[in-house]
Structure 1
Amino acid sequence: MPERLDLRSGQPVWSAHGMPGIPAAALDGDHEADVAIVGGGVSGALVADAILQAGLSVIAIDRRDFGRGSSAASTALLATEIDRPLIQLTDEIGEARAARAYWRSAAAVDHLRTRIRDLGLRPKFRDRLSVYLPGTTLGLKDLRRECEARLRIGLRSRFVDSVALHDLTSIDAAGAIVSAGNAEADPLRLVGGLWRSAGRRGAALHAPVEATEVQETRSGIVIATAGGPEIRARFAVFATGYELMPFIPPAAHDINSTWAIATAPQPDRLWRSRALVWDASDPYFYARTTADGRVVAGGKDEPFADEDKRDALIGSKSAAIARRVAALWPAIDPTPDYRWTGSFGESRSGLPTIGRIPGMRRGFAILGFGGNGFTFSAMAAQLIPRAILGIPDPDEAIFAFP
């Protein structure tokens, strides 16, 4: 069974009115389905939605409860951009593959947008520009090169000077990349809405249920659970984040701690465009707004040591993030109304690992590590059902396990 970790602490602003109610029953006997999904976060929810669209039956389990893990700590900047700049990714994996990775990320945000509309979900989804500021990873000169590289492959990015940047964001800086096609949402509303929709459409949701052993047979997957019942499925998808089952090889990644704050509502003080803002630094700072006029900001990441050390730093890290908000936007009151911390996996390549588990024919895993995990989850919802149905995908190899 995977190692159990305390994924988050503090109170994310999204949970101010309680956690989402996602009906899930006890697993009171053996069950069968076309596809079993282990993991009740956003990755599992989006894959379940796509598999149901394909006309297959779904059973999903979670060791805690649906929507109670890392998804609740997300700040849900739904970015088309990947943590690794395009010019760096090109040097690492080649121009064609880097271009495809960026375009696949853009398509994933479009997938999210479409499914939210088609399912009638109300996760406070808003289309947003993104603003990429110079930082320690890319200075102004390299930021111009990055924009030129994006324009060459047809992405909707443009470089703006200090005047245009200030008009959009009220930030005083020499310039930035502005990109279209991004969005924001309330992550709890999104995950809760997806799972409730899946349940209404026939998916069997069970929690708390812990998978203890997985065996592949000639005709499918058998999942033993801590309570005794077994789940039999033709295929299984493991969407457990970095709490990996022992048979899933870890991708090249680090486990980091991150911290975030949300200010009090102050809609009259926010920047005009409400764009998503982040900088080209490592670790990077990021900020967005909410529907009720708050600023959500985060960063100051560092390698994960243990839950106690991470939690003890909430105060000092929150203060540092608030100071960064005040420096960028002097008119905004940066005092945190909410403070929280979480742990997450960060891919060393900047790309997720999504696909068939090495040594298995019917088992798939999603290691959507990185700052835009919701986008990578939507990518998984496009890749994995195609693999289950035997439909080739031109980008499968880019995200496959090594």
Structure 2
Amino acid sequence: MPLPFPALSPRRQDQLIALCGLLGGSVLIVFKVYDRADRVPLWAVVLPLVVLAGLELVRRTRPVLAVSLGGLAFAGSLFAGSLLATLIMYTDLLYAAVIYGTPRMSRVLHLSGGATVLALSTLAAIYGGTSGALLVVVVSSLVFLAPVWTGDVVRKHREEAEAERLRAEQTALLSEMDRREAIGAERARMARELHDVVANHLSAIAIHATGAQSVARRRSLPEDDPLVEVLAVIRENSVQGLAEMRRMIGLLRDSGGGEVDESYAAPDLAAVDALLAKARAAGQDVGLDFELSESGERGDLPVPVGLAAYRIVQESLTNALKHAGPGLVSLRLEFAPEELRIAVDSPYRGGPGRGLPGARAGLVGMAERAGLLGGSFEAGPRDGYWRVRAVLPRAQGNEGRA
């Protein structure tokens, strides 16, 4: 497959035009392809050629100067020895003056070009007859009017295209504003529904679970009683669910037009140290300690991957506090180029508490989070430890699946 040519800057384009005109004119001069080649001195032909080639360099930035001096150089070349390269460069200067000049410049060139054609055709009619006058009209129109008309048409098309582009941008902006307004309204409605329905139910569950715990304490039920443990699990999960629900409500109520409150930001592995600090504080009474080890470059994790990793670590530490025996809970994070590996090992303790209702809901949630990202998850007892293993792909392409 051939490689495309690199786009030239406007300055490079002008330099290329000047160089081509200069080289083309030089070839014509070498072979004496110009009028009165046997009588006109060489400098009289070369000088207009060099002047017009130099003016090509400022055809965009100084169109008035270019077309004015170019007209004088072209007139001199007509009297000395008409050269095709000089003629072509002068018509290009007329075209550029209309394209890059002011609208007033276009009107001036139309009037001056028409006046020049009229004057030349009149002189031709007086001294050469009707046939000569018609020939002069055609040739002079091609030289003085055709480039101006062409430039005027191209300029109008460019202005129309620019106006259409601006109109399209304005339409896209208005559409984006309408879309954001609709999204904001929908998010506000969802936030109201979550707050008025789900959050209130979670609050009621937490309140009733707390009341039930108070009744159990008044009846002097032991702490390891299955009913007491179930009530503790219900209350803890309802309180955590209520906190997460408030976080979601805060995210939904942010319309996207300003800075998001940091308290509503989705958690990621940057907060793993805070999780470990809380776990250490809670595990002191039951003889648990926690340690963290990392390997590899953490880098930037996609938001869904960071959130899933945080939740898996959070749930693993919570399960260790609930069910692990005394000892050391180790958390290992391995940041590979293509994936993130999470390993949690906690001392395994069997017992009736592991058969509590809902005890495996956290394991199911962790497996679902890993599966949605295209990763893997496994958990279970082995060699006296409860092992949790999760592998999450780091690829951005997996974000859409989350």
Q: State the structure with more CA Rg.
A: 2
- Which is richer in strand? 1
- Which is richer in helix? 2
Fold in common (TM above 0.5): no
Q: Which has the higher contact order (CA 8 A, sep 6+)?
A: 1
Please report the TM-score for the alignment, with normalisation by the length of structure 2: 0.19
